[in-house]
Amino acid sequence: MKDLASKVVIVTGASGGLGTAVVHAFLEAGSAVTAVTRRSPEPDRVDGPPGTSEDRLMGLSADVEDEAGAERMVRDTVARWGRADVLVSLVGGYQGGTRVVAMDRSVWERMLSLNLTSTFLSAKHAFRQMEAQGGGAIVTVGTRAAVQVRPGEAAYAASKAGVLTLTQVLAAEGKDRGIRVNAVLPSVIDTPTNRRSLPKADFARWVKPEQLAQVILFLASDVSAEINGAWVPVYGLA
């Protein structure tokens, strides 16, 4: 995946457990990275691995559930590096445990905004830039829960299923424009937040962020040039 050394990458949700791993992986591959967080970036959360050149990492605060935030994210990236070759859309969240008949509408709308709208707006503006420059790659994040549904996860599963459908529509719209769009479908990711939420789980069976990051790098690189519109399961041992 040596081609990644010449690419400019935008990573949303960059301060999360997976986001940090993805930012580090791209920096280690030689990419220039815009690390997007919702709040003002904390230096210790967007720093690259030891030895990373500061001129290859830009921390950026932007709310990608908002049209203006998503547009500015791409505009500032292009202003810094002249292009945007890869978008990794990681913003998202989970809320479950409530049956449909008992679910408050606010939960439904929150999951749609956090998971689906954030992906839609980020992809919309990144796609425009990629189209203008002649190509690019977008990687989205679905979930196994979108294809193997469980009770109590209607809002979460529906929002992530929407991400998967959006991924395939974008892939169809981008195939003649040099833009590839694929999704990863992880099971539970081994992050501190998930460990706190499920303290009795067998963490060894969960997907490690660093391993999932390598799958994302593969989908962003020219090595996967023939892959478009795919949903790639990354379930670990779970």
Q: Give catalytic residue positions.
A: 156
What's at 84, amino acid-wise?
A
Task: Tell me, rounded to whole angstroms, the distance of Cα 121 from its chain centroid.
Answer: 12
Contact at 8 Å (CB) between 111 and 95? yes
CB-based contacts of 192-201 (< 8 A; 24+ apart in sequence): 192/17, 193/16, 193/17, 194/17
Regarding beta strands 8-12 and 57-61, do their DSSP bridges make them parallel or antiparallel, or are they unpaired?
unpaired
How many angstroms separate the CA atoms of 178 and 155, rounded?
33
Nearest to 231 by CA among 148, 155, 142: 142
b/e 38-71 (16+ beta carbons within 10 angstroms → b): beebeeebbbbeeebeeebbbbbebbbbeeebbb
